[in-house]
Structure 1
Amino acid sequence: MYRFKLLKWLLVFSVFLAGCDETPQNEQYSTFEAIKSAGKLRIVTRNAPTSWYINADGQPTGFEYDLGRLYSQYLGLEPEFIVEDSIGDVFNALSTGKADIAAAGLTVLESRKHRFLVGPAYDSVHQVLVCHRDGFNPEGYDELSEVTIRVVADSSYAERLAEIKQNKNTALAWQETDRFSTEELLEQVAEERVDCTVADATIVKINRRYFPELRVMMQITDSQPVALYLPAGAHELQTELEAWFKQFQKSAQPDRLEDRYYGYFREFDYVDVSVLKRRVDKRLPRYKKFFRVAAERYDLPLTTLLAQAYQESHWDPDAVSPTGVKGIMMLTRNTAEAMDVVDRTDAKQSIMGGARYLRRMMSRFRDEVMNEDRLYLGLAAYNIGRGHMHDAQSLARQLNLNPYVWHDMKKVLPLLTKKKYYKNLRYGYARGTEPVRYVQRIREYQHILGNELE
C-alpha cells in the first residue's frame, strides 16, 4: 500500500464509478463549497509508519500526513486528520461523509473503483510474502498451503490471496483480521505466533529494522499504484486535487519528502540490526542518563545523539581509531580541548563534549535553515569538518543547488573527491562520501532506536 522510495511521481487522473455517472444513494460527501465554508479539509488516514504517527517530540508526522497538510495549505484550509484503525474504517469514513479525502497508503484496486473516485497516484508498490527466517519457508505458490497466513481484512493482500487460490493453489487458506494492523502482524511473525503474512515491500523494509527475524520469501504481485481516494461524488474536490498535484510534481517538495522519510534506508543487514538491539539492552543503560542530560542541555533529539554515538563507537567509551580519535563520541584531541573535555575516555565528558560540538556545528548555519536540514548539515560538519563543509556549500552555489538543504548537499559532498572540483576549493580534497554515509546511518539507527526506546 505504500512504498518508501519515491522513484517516480505519476499523475493518474481520477477514475469514476464504473459505468455510472451518479453517486450511489448510500454514499455521502460534502460539496466543495461546504468544505470551503467549514474552513477545514477532513483527511482520513491510519496510524502507520508511512502514513501518520506521533514522533519523539509528540508531534504528528508521516509522509501522507505531509501530503494532506500540503494539499490543505494549497486550498487555504486547515487539515483535520481522522485516524482510523483499519482499511475498512478508512473507506467507511469516506462513504459515510465523515472524511473528505483518504491518504492512507491505499493501492488502486478494481474493487475500490466501483465505490470511490481515485485521485493522483503518488507511488507504486508490490506485495511480498513474509515469514520467520527460522521457520518453514515456502518457495512457490504450491507450498503456501503448508503455512498459516494471517492478513489484514479488507486489504489488497486478502484480495491477492483470493486470486492465488483461484488461479494457482486451490488448497490455499488464510485468516483475515481487523484486530491487528500490518505492522502488528509482522511482529506476530517475528515472534513466531503465526507463520507468515503479506505486506507491501516497503512496509517490510522498515519493519525488518525492528524485527530482523523477518524474511521476505517471494514477491506475489507486480507493481501497483498508490493513490489518494475521494467519495464517489466529490468531482470538484478531485479537480482541485489534480491541479495541486501538477504543481506539487514540478516543485522541490517531492524530493524533500522522499529524503525526509525514506532517504536513510540502505540494504538490510541482519547482523548489524541484531547487534544494535542487543547493545540497547546490554550496553546503553550504563550511559543513557548522560545522553539524556546532554540532549536536554544542547537542545538535541535524544535519539539522534544516541544514534550518532552508536555510529561513532557502538557506545564504547574506550574506542580508539587508527587516527587517534577516541571515546564514545570519537573526539579528536583538538576538539576535546575546545569542548573542555579532559579525558576523552570518560563517558560523561565525551558525551557532553560531543553534544556541545554538534550544537556548535549546527549553529554555524543561518537562522532560516530548517530544523532537519540544520541537524543533518551539522552532523556532516561534525564528521568532515567545518572547512570542508564550507567548501561544499560554495560548490553547491556554483552548481545552482541549495547549500542549506541536505537533499542537495548530499549530492555535492561526494564531489570533493574529484580534482575537477576540489582544485579550486580553499580546503581541497576531502572524502566527501563519508559524511553522506555517516548521516544516512545515523538516521537509520535513529529510526530503529526510536522504536526500541518507546
Structure 2
Amino acid sequence: MTVFFRHSKHLLASLALFSVIGLMLAMRPTPTAMERVMARGELVVITRPSNTTYYEDQHGHTGMEYELAKGFADSLGVELRILESDDLSYIRYVVRKGTADIAAAGLVNTPERSEGMQFTTAYQLVDSLVVRRLDSPRLTDLDGLVDHTVAVPAGSSHAELLIKAQLENPELEFIEVEGATPEQLLALVEDGEVDYTLIHSNVYSLQRALWPDLIADYTVATDMPLAWALNPKDDQSLYLAAQRYLTQVKADGTTAKLEDRFYGHVEHFNLYAARSFMRHLEDRLPRYEELFRKAGEESEFDWRLLAAIAYQESLWDPGAISPTGVKGLMMLTNDTARQMGISDRTDPTQSIMAGAAYLRRVHAKIPDRIPEPSRTWMALASYNVGYGHLEDARILTQRQGGDPDNWQDVKQRLPMLAKPAYASQLKYGNARGGQAVVYVRHIRRYYDLLVWAENSRRRDETRIALN
C-alpha cells in the first residue's frame, strides 16, 4: 500500500502539472491573421496565371494582380510568395484552408461567392461578354444561346450568370469546364468545337488581337467588381489592412497608373492589322526567331521585345525600305549602321544584332535610378525621337509636377514638344514627341502579343476536350 500511495502522489502531481500547462496553452491568445503573416515574414497569395493577373515578361513577374499584391506585401514589410492555379474551386479551398492568405486572381465579387469568402473593396470593374465566331449568329439576348454549345470555366462568375438565366429559360444549357483558361475556351470557339463562351472585358481587350476571327458584341453584365478574397473565418486584421491598402492606392492614383500601364497601350482594334500580325507570326517570325533569341542573349533584352521592335519597323521583312532610306528588319539608318560596324542593312543577322546592340547603347544612357519598365519604354522613345528630346520631355514633366522617372507621366508631355509655346522653353526645341509615344505604344502592344501568344502555344500542348 505504501508503494502504491507514493506512486499515486507522483501521478496526481503529474496530472496537476499537465492541467496547468493545458490551461496556460488554452489561455494563450490565438495569433491573428496579420500576426501570422508578420511572423512568417511573407504574404502568401494565390492567383491565376494570365495576362490580366500574373505573368512573366522581360523584367520578371508582373501583371495587375501581382503589382497590387506586391505593393501590399511591401507596405507590410514582408516578402510576397505566389501560388498559381487555374482551378477556381481549388483557389477558394486554399484560402479557406489557410494555405494562402489572399486570393488575388481576377475574382468577381458575387453574392454567391460572398457566402463562402470575404471580399475586399473592388479595385477594377469589368463586364461579362459573350464571344462568338464572326460567322456565328449575333446575340440580342441570352435566349439566343439555346440549341448552341456554350462552355465556361467551372465555378466562374460566368457560370453563375448562366445559372440565373436558366431559371428564366430552362432550355438554355451550357458546359462547365474544370480548370479551363480563357485561352483554352477561345481556342474551342475558334476551332468550332464550341459556339459561344463568356469572357471578362479586360481579358478580351488584351486577347482580341490574338483571335481576329472571334468577336464579343453582346454584354451579359456590366460593372462587375474585381476584388481580393480572404478566409471569412479569420479575424479582421488582415482584411482591414487589405481594405486600407486598396482604398489608399485607388485614392492616390496607383491603381489608375497600373490600369494605364497594362491597358493604356491597347489601341482600337483593327481586324486587318490583327489578321496580318497572326499571319506574319506563323509565316515570318519562325525564320528569324533564333536570331532574335541570340541577339537577346548578347544584349540582355527579351528576344520578344527585339522581335516587337522589328515588327513595328519592318513587319519582319528584311527587304523593307522606307521613303527616308532606312532599311532591313530593324530599319537602320546609314549612320547607325556605320556606328555599329555593319555593311549590309538588309542582311537579317547583321540588322538584328546591330539593332539590339544599338538599343542597349541607348538604354545605357537612361539614368539608372529610373525603374523598369519605365526605363525600357523611355529608351524606346529615345531610340525614336532622340535622347535630347526625351530629356526635354522629362524636364517638362518635372516642371508640371509629374514624375520625370515614370513613363506614364513622361509620355503625356512628349506630344507637347511639337507645340512652339513649350518647345521654345526647352534645350533641344521642337520635336515630334507624339510620334514617339505612338511608336512605344505599338511596340508594347506587339511585345505583349508575342508574350501571350507564346503562353497560348504552351497551353495548346494541353488542349482541353469537352466530355
Global fold match (TM > 0.5): yes
Q: Describe the SS at the equivalent of 1:192.
A: coil
* Residues 186 and 432 of structure 1: CA distance in aligned 2, closer, same or farther (over 3 Å): same
Q: Which residue of 2 aligns with 1:81?
A: 82
**Offset, 1:257:** 2.5
**Offset, 1:149:** 0.6
Q: Which residue of 2 aligns with 1:390?
A: 391
d(CA) in 2 for partners of 1:361, 1:143: 55
**5 Å matches for 1:195-234?**
195-234=195-234
**5 Å matches for 1:187-202?**
187-202=187-202
Q: Give 1:436's aligned amino acid.
A: V
d(CA) in 2 for partners of 1:102, 1:451: 23
* Residues 328 and 70 of structure 1: CA distance in aligned 2, closer, same or farther (over 3 Å): same
Task: Say if 2:342 is the partner of 1:341.
Answer: yes
**5 Å matches for 1:237-386?**
237-251=238-252, 253-386=254-387
Q: Which residue of 2 aligns with 1:182?
A: 182
Q: Which has the higher helix share?
A: 2
Q: Which residue of 1 aligns with 2:44?
A: 42
d(CA) in 2 for partners of 1:400, 1:64: 28
Q: Which residue of 2 aligns with 1:21?
A: none
Q: Which residue of 2 aligns with 1:68?
A: 69
d(CA) in 1 for partners of 2:233, 2:179: 30
Q: Describe the SS at the equivalent of 1:134.
A: coil
**Offset, 1:147:** 1.6
* Residues 265 and 144 of structure 1: CA distance in aligned 2, closer, same or farther (over 3 Å): same
> Is the contact made by 2:117 and 2:232 (CA closer than 8 Å) also made in structure 1?
yes
Q: Which residue of 2 aligns with 1:14?
A: none
> Is the contact made by 2:32 and 2:237 (CA closer than 8 Å) also made in structure 1?
no
**Offset, 1:240:** 1.5
d(CA) in 2 for partners of 1:78, 1:350: 42
**Offset, 1:353:** 2.0
Q: Which residue of 1 aligns with 2:423?
A: 422
d(CA) in 2 for partners of 1:247, 1:106: 20
* Residues 369 and 350 of structure 1: CA distance in aligned 2, closer, same or farther (over 3 Å): same
Q: Which residue of 2 aligns with 1:166?
A: 167
Q: Describe the SS at the equivalent of 1:233.
A: coil
Q: Which residue of 1 aligns with 2:54?
A: 52
d(CA) in 2 for partners of 1:131, 1:216: 6
**Offset, 1:252:** 5.4
> Is the contact made by 2:132 and 2:214 (CA closer than 8 Å) also made in structure 1?
yes
d(CA) in 1 for partners of 2:34, 2:425: 56
Q: Which residue of 2 aligns with 1:157?
A: 158
Cα RMSD over matched residues? 2.1
Q: Describe the SS at the equivalent of 2:124.
A: strand
Equivalent residue pairs, number: 425
Q: Describe the SS at the equivalent of 1:128.
A: strand
Structure 1 window deviating more from structure 2 (119-128 vs 419-428): it is 419-428
d(CA) in 1 for partners of 2:256, 2:376: 18
d(CA) in 2 for partners of 1:205, 1:244: 27
d(CA) in 1 for partners of 2:43, 2:218: 39
Q: Describe the SS at the equivalent of 2:122.
A: strand
> Is the contact made by 1:45 and 1:81 (CA closer than 8 Å) also made in structure 2?
yes
Q: Which residue of 1 aligns with 2:7?
A: none
d(CA) in 2 for partners of 1:153, 1:84: 13
Q: Which residue of 2 aligns with 1:131?
A: 132
Structure 1: unaligned runs, 5 residues or longer:
1-27
Q: Describe the SS at the equivalent of 2:123.
A: strand
**Offset, 1:268:** 1.8
d(CA) in 2 for partners of 1:82, 1:427: 49
d(CA) in 2 for partners of 1:142, 1:223: 22
**Offset, 1:64:** 1.0
Q: Give 1:320's aligned amino acid.
A: I
Q: Describe the SS at the equivalent of 1:126.
A: strand
d(CA) in 1 for partners of 2:86, 2:317: 41
Structure showing greater radius of gyration is 2
4+ runs deviating over 6 angstroms: none
d(CA) in 2 for partners of 1:56, 1:335: 25
> Is the contact made by 1:93 and 1:99 (CA closer than 8 Å) also made in structure 2?
yes
> Is the contact made by 1:50 and 1:64 (CA closer than 8 Å) also made in structure 2?
yes
d(CA) in 1 for partners of 2:158, 2:289: 41
> Is the contact made by 1:49 and 1:62 (CA closer than 8 Å) also made in structure 2?
yes
Q: Which residue of 2 aligns with 1:431?
A: 432
**Offset, 1:247:** 3.3
d(CA) in 2 for partners of 1:142, 1:252: 41
**Offset, 1:70:** 1.6
d(CA) in 2 for partners of 1:183, 1:200: 12
Q: Which residue of 1 aligns with 2:13?
A: none
> Is the contact made by 2:403 and 2:409 (CA closer than 8 Å) also made in structure 1?
yes
Q: Which string of whole-angstrom CA distances, capped at 9 and with x for unpartnered residues, describes residues 402-425 of structure 1? A: 222211111010111212111222
d(CA) in 1 for partners of 2:139, 2:148: 8
Q: Which string of whole-angstrom CA distances, capped at 9 and with x for unpartnered residues, describes residues 207-262 of structure 1? A: 22222221113001121111111111331111211222333334453344224322
Q: Which residue of 1 aligns with 2:6?
A: none
d(CA) in 2 for partners of 1:94, 1:288: 41
* Residues 284 and 100 of structure 1: CA distance in aligned 2, closer, same or farther (over 3 Å): closer
> Is the contact made by 2:424 and 2:430 (CA closer than 8 Å) also made in structure 1?
yes
Give the structure, 1 or 2, with the largest relative contact order (CA under 8 Å, sep 6 or more).
Answer: 1
Q: Give 2:408's aligned amino acid.
A: H
Q: Describe the SS at the equivalent of 2:221.
A: coil
> Is the contact made by 2:385 and 2:436 (CA closer than 8 Å) also made in structure 1?
yes
> Is the contact made by 1:29 and 1:94 (CA closer than 8 Å) also made in structure 2?
no
d(CA) in 2 for partners of 1:118, 1:279: 43
* Residues 396 and 56 of structure 1: CA distance in aligned 2, closer, same or farther (over 3 Å): closer
Structure 1 window deviating more from structure 2 (285-294 vs 356-365): it is 285-294
Q: Percent of aligned pairs with the same residue? A: 35
d(CA) in 2 for partners of 1:30, 1:236: 7
